[in-house]
Chains A and B, each alone.
Chain A
Amino acid sequence: MIFGHWALAFNLLTIAVLAFIVANSLVSLAFWSVKNKIQRYTVSTRKSLLWLCVLSPWIIALSVTLLFSPLFQSGAMFVWLTELAHWHHPNIYYFLSWHSISLLLFIGFSLTIAVRSLVVAYKNHYQIILLRTLATKKSENVFIIDSSIPTAFTGGLIKPSCFISTGLMEQLDSDDIEIIIQHELAHLHYADPLKKWVFSLLSSYFSPNVKQILKSMMAITMEQAADSFFVKTQQQAHNVASTLVRFTKLAAKYSIHEQFKSELLVHFCRQSIEQRVVELLNETQLKAFPMKLVLLTIILLAVISMTSVDSLHHAIETLFDH
């Protein structure tokens, strides 16, 4: 058992973990109920909403922890807040209690996720460097890889590069290749490999089903953003859509051969082609960022998380007495 500032720090960390778990469950529920409606928003809004989904449990946990801290739990001004939610004995911390067990489990889980993601990043970094070394430079950030597999992708977390294979260049005309390169350069402009890695790391805190959908939706949204990055006219949108279909047909031909199947996870065409073609041809106005709704939801989730942490604490303490 410890007392004083250290005990307060550990108690606040426990509050943060509990608030994070509650907020994560609430965000998962909210996301699950609106996931089909997200398509009605513009690509950039969709991106922001997905980022908000994976970041909001952290933001809510931080806010709730702050509200449980002595900063907001003392003084006449915050009596209503103390009545709404409070933490018993914040200056005493029992190491042999459910508090420290939940804290340790969360730290252990986070470390596992972090190590796994870092290993992926490390491996990827050196593989991209080797690929770059073996490739021929076409322009500043575009490399041609000598391979019969028709492929195009952007890789590299810190210094991304676009790769396009000779197999693809031989089988599509120069206009298609130009569109594919522009698409890959858009990924490079947005730093998508790094963002995908961070997003994947943050979404690991969600349940497998939610994580899967979050990652898929983000991947498709990133592809759609890259599709329309250089598109200024409707004519150009049609050209990109045509290239997309031609490329998928080419990839489908190769995927008949077992040895190419896994290599054909081409970033340019892997993500739901139909969804991307429809998006490119779509002329209807999509909705902009729903600022008021999002703010209201976050505040509501924060309040529910805060009261839930308090109730959860009370319930467990009553049941188990630490």
Chain B
Amino acid sequence: MQLGELEKQVLEYLWKAKPADAKQVHSYFEKNRGGSLNTIQSTLERLFKKDLLSRVKNGHAYQYFPKVARHELIGQLIKSVTHDFVVEDENSVVAAFSSISSDLDEDQLDKLEAMIEQQRKKLQTKAEK
């Protein structure tokens, strides 16, 4: 999903502000960057179609608000992007094959840390000689 610069700004504005209709959004952007009411209306419509905004009818106008909070959307994106290439069911065959769990506990991590420290000291002693 691609977002234009104005779409991004409108979305950022709605994440900070309360639900707003096209006129309210326009009055904010008119002061800051100009642009007609029509442009704002079509931007809101596009964001709605992209499933980023929800809307409720209030009188004659729609009140727009973000479908998900900013941090939630980013969280969802991170999850989805990193999930796509994750090897499915890592624990079964892989663990048996490598006999190394990818889910290390604190103790194992401490042991690894100690191993690194030991190597570091060894290297230092070697350098001093």
A→B interface (CB under 8 Å) = 35-36, 120, 123-124, 126-131, 133-134, 145-149, 151, 153, 155, 163, 165, 193, 196-197, 200, 209, 212-213, 215-216, 219, 234-235, 238, 241-242, 245, 248-249, 252, 262-263, 265-267, 270-275, 277, 281
In the bound complex, how far is the Cα of B84 from the Cα of A163, in angstroms? 16
Residue of B nearest to A212 (CB): B93
- From the candidates B3, B92, B115, B123, name the one contacting A133 in the complex (CB within 8 A): B3
9 closest Cβ pairs, A-B complex:
A126-B1, A133-B3, A216-B94, A215-B87, A147-B74, A265-B82, A241-B116, A212-B93, A131-B77
- Is the C-beta of B75 less than 8 angstroms from some C-beta in chain A? yes
Knowing A262-B83, A277-B115, say if A252 contacts B106 (CB, 8 Å).
Answer: yes
Q: Mark B95-129, 1 if CB is under 8 A from A, else 0.
A: 00110101011101100110110011001000000
Is chain B's binding surface mostly helix, strand, loop or mixed?
helix
Inter-subunit contact A216/B3 (CB<8 Å):
no
Can you show 22 pairs from A to B with CB atoms below 8 A apart? A123-B80, A124-B81, A127-B80, A129-B3, A130-B1, A131-B77, A134-B73, A146-B71, A151-B78, A212-B87, A212-B94, A216-B98, A235-B120, A238-B123, A245-B109, A245-B113, A248-B109, A263-B79, A270-B102, A273-B102, A274-B112, A275-B100
- From the candidates B85, B92, B97, name the one contacting A196 in the complex (CB within 8 A): B85
Inter-subunit contact A245/B94 (CB<8 Å):
no
Is chain A's binding surface mostly helix, strand, loop or mixed?
helix
- Most A-side CB within 10 Å, residue of B2, B81, B104: B81
Q: Which residues of B contact A212 (CB under 8 A)?
A: 87-89, 92-94
Inter-subunit contact B112/A263 (CB<8 Å):
no
Q: How far is the CB of B82 from chain A (nearest CB, A)?
A: 5
B→A interface (CB under 8 Å) = 1-3, 8, 70-71, 73-75, 77-90, 92-94, 97-98, 100, 102, 104-106, 108-109, 112-113, 115-116, 119-120, 123
- From the candidates A36, A127, A200, A252, name the one contacting B109 in the complex (CB within 8 A): A252
In the bound complex, how far is the Cα of B79 from the Cα of A29, in angstroms? 35
Inter-subunit contact A127/B98 (CB<8 Å):
no
Inter-subunit contact B75/A149 (CB<8 Å):
yes
In the bound complex, how far is the Cα of B119 from the Cα of A36, in angstroms? 26
Residue of A nearest to B73 (CB): A134
Q: Which residues of A contact B120 (CB under 8 A)?
A: 235, 238
In the bound complex, how far is the Cα of B2 from the Cα of A238, in angstroms? 41
Inter-subunit contact A274/B100 (CB<8 Å):
yes
In the bound complex, how far is the Cα of B80 from the Cα of A155, in angstroms? 11
Inter-subunit contact A147/B102 (CB<8 Å):
no
Q: Which residues of B contact A133 (CB under 8 A)?
A: 2-3, 8
In the bound complex, how far is the Cα of B7 from the Cα of A133, in angstroms? 10
In the bound complex, how far is the Cα of B123 from the Cα of A163, in angstroms? 34
Q: Other than the known A129-B2, A151-B78, A212-B92, what 9 A-B pairs have Cβ atoms closer than 8 Å?
A: A133-B3, A145-B78, A146-B70, A155-B81, A238-B119, A265-B82, A272-B100, A273-B112, A277-B115
Q: Which residues of A contact B100 (CB under 8 A)?
A: 272, 274-275
Inter-subunit contact A248/B79 (CB<8 Å):
no
Inter-subunit contact A130/B75 (CB<8 Å):
no
Residue of A nearest to B11 (CB): A134
In the bound complex, how far is the Cα of B1 from the Cα of A124, in angstroms? 10
Knowing A216-B90, A277-B116, say if A35 contacts B102 (CB, 8 Å).
Answer: no
Inter-subunit contact A153/B93 (CB<8 Å):
no
- From the candidates B81, B86, B92, B113, name the one contacting A131 in the complex (CB within 8 A): B81
